[in-house]
Copies of this chain bind each other. A is one copy, B any other.
Amino acid sequence: MTQVYFDHNSTSPMLPIAMEAWVYAQSDAWMNASAPYRGSARVNALFDNACERIAERIDCKMNEVVFTSGASEGITSIFFWLAREYPAEKVLLAPTEHTAVQRAAEFFFPGKTDYLDANPDGSIDLRQLEEKLLTREYAAVAVMAANNETGLIHPWKLINALCRKHKSWYICDATQWMGKLESHEIGICDFLVASAHKFGGSKGCGLLKLPAQIDDFRLILGGEQQEGRRAGTVDYPGIIALVEAFDWTNKLTSKINDYRGNFLRSIANKIPDITINTDLNNSLWNTLSIALPKYENIRWIHNLDQAGFLVSTGAACSFETRASKTLQAIGKTSDEIRRTIRISSSWNNTEDEWQELAEAMIKIWNKLGHEDQ
């Protein structure tokens, strides 16, 4: 049975263009970029070119780009650096940040990690942010570009400007933004992280942008690769796959669809009392978090899996604990959270697939109703 995958906020399969680039690079540019012969100098030049392409796309300098193993590494390395530079200061987070950001902040700033309030839609109050910044107590502020669970979009450009004005560093986790929305200015954020596998690159490869003026930034120690900011043999195949996947998805960001809107209209009269956790007017076009009126999410997910549709509860990495930080932070009850599923599409999911998902859900709703009688 073909399965229709609706969990792209968790991970995406590699895009053919990225896969091709990776495979080609493994035969054409596999040498160590730091070795002393011409083939190696060529890999180094290709690596520089990859940095340049990304820098140009997101509007930052080439020497501000560092390739990592993923967003979690990028985030950890930022807080590791902050803790050494500003040991006496605090950090400020949106309460809906990804586990990676919360854990890295709490680990390196124990007892000194403060949280902004969240409005019921998950948004933060920029006036509260400015008030906090005025205390001058915060080395850095982290507010993600778009939320992994609800898809909510945060005004990263304004937040970056506020942080600049008040001399705090702004950390933008763009893991869910890049590849889904126009990114040509996101490199203006002081710090930026993303993971290639969220937009069709390979797992184990990520992007970190940091301000050029920062010295002595490093988490993984060793050789002088990447200007000393990230040791370890450069994974050029992974990097070029990241760049190709990003380019491919980035070109589509003008063609946002509203398939999820049609999906919601299709199920609205058939499954009553659905709670929409996602702010449909200010969120990623691909993401939909809804609390169903009845039955635990895991029962829905298993039934949908049987019917050939893959959706999720929320963040994959917190599946086992079943505690959605985002939904808790926006005031959802644990009962609502247990009834919540997350649907997240890619550029390749068609309107038909969304409609088929709607039909499958209606069938399951009716079936579970019968079973319960």
Task: Using CB atoms and an 8 Å cutoff, list the residues of chain A in contact with chain B.
Answer: 3, 5, 7, 10-11, 13-14, 19, 23, 26-27, 30-32, 34-40, 68-73, 75-76, 79, 98-100, 103-104, 107, 195, 197, 202-205, 219-225, 231-238, 298, 301-302, 304-305, 310-313, 315-321
Q: If the complex has contacts A30-B13, A203-B233, A235-B203, are A38 and B103 also in contact, measured as CB distance less than 8 A?
A: no
Most buried by B among A103, A224, A231: A231
Residues on the B chain within 8 Å of A76, using CB: 219-222, 231
For the A-B complex with A40-B316, A104-B221, A223-B316 known, give 15 more contacts whose Cβ atoms are closer than 8 Å: A7-B31, A7-B35, A13-B27, A34-B320, A35-B310, A36-B319, A39-B305, A72-B220, A73-B73, A75-B221, A99-B223, A99-B231, A202-B237, A222-B317, A233-B317
Each complex incorporates copies of this chain amounting to 2
- Is the CB–CB distance between A72 and B223 below 8 Å? yes
Expressed in whole angstroms, the Cα–Cα distance for A10 and B30 within the complex equals 11
Residues on the B chain within 8 Å of A195, using CB: 232-233
Distance from A241 Cβ to chain B, minimum over Cβ atoms (Å): 10
Q: Which of B103, B225, B302, B315 contacts A317 (CB 8 A)?
A: B225
Expressed in whole angstroms, the Cα–Cα distance for A69 and B67 within the complex equals 12
Residues on the B chain within 8 Å of A235, using CB: 202-204
Q: Supply 6 A–B pairs (Cβ within 8 Å), ascending by A.
A: A10-B34, A30-B203, A34-B319, A76-B222, A100-B221, A224-B320
Q: If the complex has contacts A197-B233, A232-B73, are A7 and B27 also in contact, measured as CB distance less than 8 A?
A: no
- Is the CB–CB distance between B313 and A223 below 8 Å? no
Distance from A128 Cβ to chain B, minimum over Cβ atoms (Å): 26
Distance from A103 Cβ to chain B, minimum over Cβ atoms (Å): 4
Q: If the complex has contacts A39-B3, A70-B233, are A318 and B223 also in contact, measured as CB distance less than 8 A?
A: yes
Residue of B nearest to A34 (CB): B316
Distance from A37 Cβ to chain B, minimum over Cβ atoms (Å): 4
Residues on the B chain within 8 Å of A39, using CB: 3, 305, 310
Q: If the complex has contacts A30-B14, A204-B238, are A72 and B231 also in contact, measured as CB distance less than 8 A?
A: yes
Expressed in whole angstroms, the Cα–Cα distance for A311 and B313 within the complex equals 52
- Is the CB–CB distance between A14 and B26 below 8 Å? yes
Residue of B nearest to A222 (CB): B100
Expressed in whole angstroms, the Cα–Cα distance for A224 and B221 within the complex equals 24
Residue of B nearest to A197 (CB): B233
10 closest residue pairs by CB, A with B: A223-B317, A100-B222, A69-B69, A204-B235, A203-B235, A72-B222, A72-B232, A11-B32, A103-B221, A10-B32
Residues on the B chain within 8 Å of A11, using CB: 30-32, 35, 233
Residues on the B chain within 8 Å of A311, using CB: 37
Expressed in whole angstroms, the Cα–Cα distance for A320 and B225 within the complex equals 10
